[in-house]
A = this chain, B = another copy of it.
Amino acid sequence: MNFSSDNVSPVCPEILAAIVAQSSSSALPYGQDEDSARLDAAFSTLFETDCVVIPVATGTAANLIGLSGLVSPYGGVVCHHEAHINQTESTGVAFFGGGAKLLTMDGPSAKIEAPALDAFLTAQSNRGIHAVDPECVAITQATEFGAVYSVAEIQDIGRVAKEHGMRLFMDGARFANAVAALGCHPADITWKAGVDVLSFGATKNGALAVDAIILFDKTLRKKAEKARKRGGHLFSKHRYLAAQLLAYLEGDLWLKNAKHANMAAKLLAQSLGCLGARVAHQPQGNELFMWMEDDLAAALQAAGIIFRPWPAVGKGAYRFVTAWNSPLEDITALANGL
């Protein structure tokens, strides 16, 4: 079993079928096809508000292009120190943002907390022409340490951001896992709470390669489209991105896949607990962080189970990530020993 990341999983059958179905005919390129034309409506229905959809093939592209509309070349993006955009996307924010700078803060479980954000923005804003003024707040839902912001937490962050005149961005690489965990409506933790732009992840949750930039502020469309083209992210065979996303929404496949992965994480936490591991961050989505002794880690590896040490959490901490195809029975069986 491979828990090194959810991106080791293959395309799920429903989305693969959509790709195959797309392959028996020709269609206009660059989003002029019929399936691409359905995207805005499909996501507007899902989110119960008019929104614009810009599909790209990677989560990093979705984050960077999405953010680039919310910050000027002279401005700052406030994020958690552990944020993917700070730790794992090279110098991408400055690249797509024309020099924009990440301003990092801390918080438990890689979460930004609203009162701390308020204090941070108060201290960092309006410091004059020499300093970098924050212009945007970026949060990750679920966070890089597997935590899920509650509806109230995001509402609080949205309110603080608004009070300080900030735009609000959400990195939703594991948005589906968060919604599945919260049991809320996707609108509750996005536009209703003040999110301007969301990167809506699909790749980690069953797609081949597509994440959607969702613009709740529709005035950002032109800039996002130009940034996408200029960045080499506009697919000629755009319909293959659209087909993946439409299949992902169809019958709430996105939630079904996420629920499976979340359940797998919970079962895995139990099984590993039976083997002597201790939970470092309680799994809320599909990421599980466990403290383990060296010999347990070695035994699991010897049994062919793949996972990764996670020094950012601490020495002796390991990360396990489940996915839409994690084998629940095998995971449960782990509790009985290796």
In the bound complex, residues from chain B placing their C-beta under 8 Å from that of A20 are 16, 20
A233→B61 contact, CB < 8 A:
yes
Contact residue among B19, B89, B230, B240 (Cβ-Cβ distance under 8 Å from A91): B230
The residue of chain B having its C-beta at the shortest distance from the C-beta of A203 within the complex is: B236
Interface residues of A in 242-273 (CB under 8 A from B): none
B74→A226 contact, CB < 8 A:
yes
A230→B57 contact, CB < 8 A:
no
Question: Is A4 an interface residue when CB atoms closer than 8 A count as contact?
Answer: yes
A22→B10 contact, CB < 8 A:
yes
Contact residue among B24, B98, B130 (Cβ-Cβ distance under 8 Å from A90): B130
Question: Is A157 an interface residue when CB atoms closer than 8 A count as contact?
Answer: no
A10→B26 contact, CB < 8 A:
yes
* Nearest-Cβ distance from residue A331 to partner chain B, whole angstroms: 14
Stretch at the interface among A27-35, A106-114, A176-184, A290-298: A27-35
- Chain A, 220-243, contact with B by CB distance < 8 Å: what is the 0/1 string? 000101110111111111001000
In the bound complex, residues from chain B placing their C-beta under 8 Å from that of A72 are 223, 226
If the complex has contacts A26-B8, A89-B130, are A57 and B226 also in contact, measured as CB distance less than 8 A? no
The residue of chain B having its C-beta at the shortest distance from the C-beta of A62 within the complex is: B232
Contact residue among B23, B96, B203, B226 (Cβ-Cβ distance under 8 Å from A237): B203
* Nearest-Cβ distance from residue A95 to partner chain B, whole angstroms: 4
Complex Cα distance, B226 from A16, in Å, reads: 30
Question: Is A313 an interface residue when CB atoms closer than 8 A count as contact?
Answer: no
In the bound complex, residues from chain B placing their C-beta under 8 Å from that of A129 are 30, 90, 225-226, 229, 234
* Nearest-Cβ distance from residue A128 to partner chain B, whole angstroms: 9
B74→A90 contact, CB < 8 A:
yes
Interface residues of A in 111-145 (CB under 8 A from B): 129-132
- Chain A, 166-207, contact with B by CB distance < 8 Å: what is the 0/1 string? 000000000000000000000000000000000000011000
Complex Cα distance, B22 from A10, in Å, reads: 7
* Nearest-Cβ distance from residue A61 to partner chain B, whole angstroms: 3
B28→A232 contact, CB < 8 A:
no
B28→A90 contact, CB < 8 A:
no
Complex Cα distance, B76 from A14, in Å, reads: 42
If the complex has contacts A23-B11, A91-B73, A94-B99, are A60 and B232 also in contact, measured as CB distance less than 8 A? yes
Complex Cα distance, B5 from A191, in Å, reads: 38
Complex Cα distance, B74 from A236, in Å, reads: 19
Question: Is A150 an interface residue when CB atoms closer than 8 A count as contact?
Answer: no
B29→A234 contact, CB < 8 A:
no
Question: Is A282 an interface residue when CB atoms closer than 8 A count as contact?
Answer: no
Complex Cα distance, B63 from A74, in Å, reads: 17
Q: A92-B229, A94-B100 are in contact. List 20 more A-B contacts (CB 8 A).
A: A2-B26, A2-B28, A7-B236, A10-B27, A10-B237, A11-B240, A16-B23, A26-B325, A58-B233, A61-B232, A64-B232, A72-B226, A73-B98, A87-B130, A91-B230, A92-B230, A94-B99, A95-B98, A95-B231, A129-B234
